[in-house]
């Protein structure tokens, strides 16, 4: 097996994956099996075994590719020792590993696969690479991803408490001799709240959009905090939306998909 992320991620071929004792020896607790042409493997009951039978080329459903890559990404984020196996360990396994790493780190698939293939032998299928990019255009080289929003507040601690009630978790930071401020990071996106030096720095025309899991519960919590509710939850074709005001008067658009 070839170690990709120390203690967390390995790539294996079909023969290596079927040597169960050797496969599990590094402490592996999850197996991602990609080889459609190989029979399923029977691992001990306490091992997470996910089979995504992929073709080493075109003909794979976009839904399966996304599910496979998302699964590997979540296992990596959870630091769960994982092996990705395909027939030869040269194409499907490195592509899926590179795509999951790219998703986590905000890289392009091209950059991620180039870094990964420098560490060992490979025979990557251009057709499968292209199909992964079709399924996940966010991994394209030309993709731009927003990763930061900075707002200034006349009452930053109150504003922090408001956004924390929505599920964001803030920590206090200071860069060098700069001002104390609060930062929250989730899924690679950072929101920073700085104290405003004057009322003119507070821009109430800015709007913030957040996805929430239970919009009615969120609105009830905000109502208890005496927040301004501009629009009660309303159903649309794409989900349920509500609009509230933060302590500085910015519109916060809440969406439950």
Alpha helices in the chain (DSSP H): 14-17, 20-24, 62-77, 92-105, 109-117, 126-135, 156-164, 215-224
One domain for residues 48 and 129: yes
CATH number of 170's domain: 3.10.180.10
The Cα 203–Cα 42 span in angstroms is: 59
Please give the share of the chain, as a percent, with pLDDT higher than 70. 98
Answer yes or no: do 210 and 102 share one domain: no
Give yes or no: residues 116 and 211 share one domain: no
Q: Which domain holds residue 177?
A: 148-256
pLDDT in tens, 54-64: 999 999 999 99
180 and 93 inside one domain: no
Of 94, 110, 139, the residue at which a domain comes to its end is 139
Q: Give 121-154 pLDDT, tens digit per residue.
A: 899 999 999 999 999 988 887 556 678 899 999 9
| Antiparallel, parallel or unpaired: β 207-211 and 189-195 | unpaired
Q: Which two tokens stand for residue 54?
A: 């992929």
Buried b (16+ CB within 10 A) or exposed e, 180-214: ebbbbeeeeeebbbbbbeeeeebeeeeebebebee
C-alpha span between 244 and 231 (Å, rounded): 7
125 and 70 assigned to the same domain = yes
User: Are 126 and 155 found together in one domain?
Assistant: no
Identify whether residues 132 and 9 lie together within a single domain. yes
Are residues 135 and 161 part of one domain?
no
Query: Does 22 share its domain with 124?
Result: yes
One domain, residues 173 and 70: no
* Total domain count, the chain: 2
Same domain for 98 and 208, yes or no, is no
Torsion angle, alpha carbons of 32, 73, 167, 156, to 10? 160
Q: What is the pTM of this model?
A: 0.59
pLDDT at 238: 83
* Residue closest to 24 by CA, chosen among 44, 4, 51, 38: 44
Residues pairing with 194 in the sheet: 152
For 204-213, what is the mean pLDDT? 90
Do residues 123 and 163 share a domain? no
CATH at residue 23: 3.90.190.10
């Amino acid at each position: 097996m070839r170690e990709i992320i120390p203690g967390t991620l390995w790539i294996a071929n079909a023969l290596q994956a079927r040597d169960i004792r050797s496969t599990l020896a590094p402490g592996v607790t999850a197996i991602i099996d990609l080889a459609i042409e190989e029979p399923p493997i029977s691992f001990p009951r306490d091992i997470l075994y996910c089979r995504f039978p992929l073709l080493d080329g075109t003909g794979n459903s976009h839904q399966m590719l996304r599910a496979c890559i998302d699964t590997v990404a979540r296992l990596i984020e959870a630091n769960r020792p994982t092996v990705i196996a395909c027939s030869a360990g040269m194409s499907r396994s490195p592509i899926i590993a590179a795509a999951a790493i790219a998703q986590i780190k905000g890289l392009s698939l091209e950059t991620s696969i180039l870094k990964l293939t420098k560490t060992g032998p490979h025979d990557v299928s251009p057709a499968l690479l292209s199909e992964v990019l079709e399924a996940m255009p966010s991994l394209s080289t030309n993709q731009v991803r927003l990763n930061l929003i900075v707002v200034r507040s006349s009452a930053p601690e109150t504003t922090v408490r408001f956004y924390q009630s929505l599920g964001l978790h803030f920590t206090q930071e200071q860069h060098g001799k700069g001002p104390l401020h609060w930062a929250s990071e989730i899924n690679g996106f950072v929101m920073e709240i700085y104290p405003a030096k004057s009322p003119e720095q507070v821009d109430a025309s800015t709007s913030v959009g957040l996805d929430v899991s239970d919009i009615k519960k969120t609105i009830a919590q905000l109502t208890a905090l005496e927040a301004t509710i501009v629009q009660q939850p309303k159903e649309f074709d794409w989900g349920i939306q509500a609009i509230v005001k933060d302590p500085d008067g910015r519109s916060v658009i809440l969406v439950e998909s």
